[in-house]
Amino acid sequence: MSHVRLVNVTKRFGAVTAVDNLNFTLEKGECFSMLGPSGCGKTTTLRMVAGFEDLDDGEVYVGDRLLSSPAKNYYLPPEKRDFGMVFQAFAVWPHLSVYENVAFPLRIRKVASTEVKRRVSDALGATNLLEAANKSPDDLSGGGKQRVALARALAINPDVMLLDEPLSSLDPHLREEMRFEIKALQRQFGFCIIYVTHDQSEAMALSDRILVMRGGVAQQIDTPLNVYNSPANQFVFSFIGLSNFLEVRGEGGAYRLAGGDALPAGLAPPPEFAGNARLSLASRPAEIEFDDAPDAAAALRGTVVRKSYLGEIIDYLVRLGDQTIRVQKVRHSPGPEQGANCALRLLRPTWYVCADGE
């Protein structure tokens, strides 16, 4: 059953269209991430769902309840939407104790005091904060503050939780830990999550589905595995993980690397790309093998111009004519030395038509 529903949502700031005709629906209990570089419109979208921004066009629903619709001149203010929300900068109130922070949404709703007590301790228990209940949030670490924010959002037991880069103010180690905690809380309480982040591994680890955005336009909505394995376009490919793009020129059915050799026969682009003068051959550094067989039909030939030992992985930069390509291997696998000639086999060559200016 679809739960949160955005229909043709558009937002403009002056002449700039921040969010352009966006559509998606969330199932109950789903974790949905909006992923993209800063300024792509993901935060604006979240703020429209929360009600902090009004739409210029389109509609937002939760279940059957209409939240915003400029066409029907309807707008429900954020305090009436019953969402939980966590912000990047914690936004816990320093003048209230941890307990009072979490109790605030309940007190606003005039919940009976025994019930407040029970629900606050539930929320504090779920976020491991029982010990800190009487402390001031200022006495807690960043991770502690963010737990208070989570507990406060949990207190009303919302069925939609909005998370706006909640982990990006934390250090990497804590970030990973909190990621798992959020996932565990979701399992325990069953809310659905709309999660905004620019960190692809965070989105991958948490989400059931990911929306990749760029310039206010949805690029792809899919499961994490599909976003990684079958990126809808070159932007999505480049945004998720490390990537190489080799420019390929096509002329009369023959293809060659721009400023380099002709493409080996085994690496010809699929037929549907025929007729394009400029193509982009995408690959991931970890999905390239050094191929020892001298007669390999699909191998690209080049020279190792840089070999860096990075501990777990060894990083190679290989020159192919005028272009270079990154290759990464785990430390146990053998590879050529710096300056050596080598042959490369792309395990998963992916083709895109070269867009201008990219």
Partner 1 sequence: MSTQSKKKPFIGTAGIILFLSIAILVVFVAFPVILILFNAFWAKGEFNLVDVVNVLREPDTYQALLNSVFIACGTTIGSTIVGTFFAWLVTRTDLPYKNFMKGLFLVPFMLPSFIGALAWKMLLSPRAGYINRFFMDYFGFEEPVFNIYSYYGIMAVEVMYLFPFVFIQVCGALERMDPTLEESARISGAGLFTITRRITIPLVLPSILSGSLLIMLYSMAHFGTVAVLGIENGIFNIPTLIYERIHQSAGSFAAIRTGTVLATVLVVSAAFIIWLQGKILSKGRYQIIAGKSFRPMELKLRGLRYPLLIFCLAYIGFTIVLPTAVIFMVGGLKTYGLPFTMENLSLDNYKFILFDYKTTKDAIWNSVSLGLSAAVITMFAGVMISYVIVKMKVRGKGVLEFLGMLPFSVPGSVIALGVILAWSGKFGINLYNSVWIILVAYIARYMAFSLKANSAALEQVHDSLIEAARACGATMWQSLRDIVLPLVKPGMFAAFFLIFLPSLRELTVSIMLYAPTTRTIGVAIYTLNEDGETVMSAALAGIALVIIITGQTVISRLTGASAKG
Partner 2 sequence: MATIQLEGVSRRYGQHTVLEGLNLTVNHGECFTLLGPSGCGKTVLLRLIAGFEDPTSGSIRIGDDLVADAATGVTVPPDSRDLGVVFQEYAVWPHMSVFDNVGYPLKLAGVPKEERVSRVMETIALVNLHGLEKRLPSELSGGQQQRVALARALVGKPSLMLLDEPLSNLDANLREEMRFEIKELQHKLDITVMYVTHDQEIALAISDRIAVMDGKGAIRQIGSPEDIFEKPVDSFMFNFMGVANFLQVRREGSGFFVGQGGQPVPWDKPQGDAVAWVAAFRPSDVIIRRDGAGLKGIVKRASFLGPYMDYLVEIDGTHLRTSVDTHEAIMRDLMFTDGEPCIVDLREKHWFDAQSLGEVGA
**Contacting residues toward partner 2, per CB under 8 A:** 180, 200-201, 204-205, 224-225, 228-229, 240-242, 284, 286-287, 306, 308-313, 315, 330-332, 347-348
What is the C-alpha separation between 156 and 347, in angstroms, rounded? Answer: 50
Name 104's Cβ contacts closer than 8 Å, sequence gap at least 6.
Answer: 93, 96, 152, 155
Give the nearer residue to partner 1 in terms of CB position, either 116 or 346. Answer: 116
Q: Render the burial of 94-133: b for 16+ CB within 10 Å, e for the rest.
A: eebbbbbbbbbbbeeeebeeeebeebbebbbebbebeebb
- What minimum distance in Å lies between the beta carbon of 297 and partner 2? 20
Q: How many residues bind partner 1 (CB under 8 A)?
A: 33
Residues 334-353 contacting partner 1, CB under 8 A? none
Helix ranges restricted to H, the chain: 42-50, 98-108, 113-126, 142-154, 172-189, 200-206, 224-229, 234-239
- In the list partner 2, partner 1, none, the entry touching 108 (Cβ below 5 to 8 angstroms by class) is partner 1
The entry of partner 1, partner 2, none that residue 173 binds, CB within 5 to 8 Å by partner kind:
none
**Between 85 and 132, CB nearer to partner 1:** 85
Q: How far is the CB of 260 from partner 1 (least distance, A)?
A: 43
> Which tokens sit at 354?
């070269």
For the bound state, the minimum distance from the C-beta of residue 208 to partner 1, rounded and expressed in Å, comes to 23
Nearer to partner 2, 80 or 332 (CB): 332
| Nearest distance from C-beta of residue 158 to partner 1, angstroms | 9
| 10: DSSP letter | E
Q: Which of 85, 123, 133, 193 binds partner 1 (CB under 8 A)?
A: 85
Between 188 and 229, name the residue whose CB sits nearer to partner 2: 229
200 binds, among partner 1, partner 2, none (CB under 5 to 8 A by kind): partner 2
Phi, psi (rounded to 5 degrees) for 120 = -65, -45
Task: Map tokens 């991931």 to a residue.
Answer: 284
112-171 binders of partner 1 (CB under 8 A) = 138, 149, 152-153, 156, 162, 169
Residue 4: name its binding partner from partner 2, partner 1, none (Cβ under 5 to 8 Å by kind): none
Supply 196's token pair.
């905004």
Token couple for 95: 């003048």
DSSP 138: G
Q: From the DSSP assignment, how many helices (H) and strands (E) are in the chain?
A: 8, 20
